[in-house]
Chain A
């Protein structure tokens, strides 16, 4: 193979790193991943260390984010909850990608009956409000973090199927696809080698945005008591618990809320940056700067 994937990736990265907001987003995400991995180890307290004497105390040197109604350290719990949020986000979106993209590729390329059947199924999923569908799925599967991932994944599948199909419809009409066929390429090869790379950009952008929404959905489900089960910490759950004490101890709700906000915004920054970086027409800008022909 003469393909040079490294050079294409490098170009994309170059453009991405020139975008300040995207860099900020990437840094925040990197930090989150680090926190997710080592959070529990570096946290100042145990997640369920109860200290009734110091319940509902405000932020201080000992408890940076204050303590909750049982005297548990909010900072520790926010830190540890990062892991589960990221896990749910990545696994749920991974699930949505793994199902939605192939569905969209097949539907958009073959059209006709296959397209109609697949996309009507997707439309059925899409027609329910996201959170309602997730709740319904969890009602069937039972609450819990694993089922929440499946539920969120299913909710986001039709978005990927639609985005992929839409792009495939456009790209498969391109002359270069006909040209590839005129040179004897098989359907599978055309789909995977010629169409998929051309529809990747919107999928990648949607992925980063969906990660943000998946994390929000997880927070919502946990808020409703359908996601992470007590006593394990999750941002959504902490928000729900903090609601009851908002007058006395606003930090209980504010800090997990800020964590959700920062994460979602970071994903959005990266998504925007990626969209610009993956536009093949933008690429020539850097190239003409870098090398003169």
Chain B
């Protein structure tokens, strides 16, 4: 399953950091963040619970870059 979310982030390097943090989250197969469109595309592992995984993704992203937001 692949889904795209709107995000809020200030600098391009921060966006890269979010991407890495999201990709490293359990239940996420791959993640791509586009700073230009302010969107995060997440591909979930089979059977992953989207809401729970995204909550964890947001937590990890906040750790990597305090000034970010994901809308899901």
Q: Do A and B come from one complex?
A: no
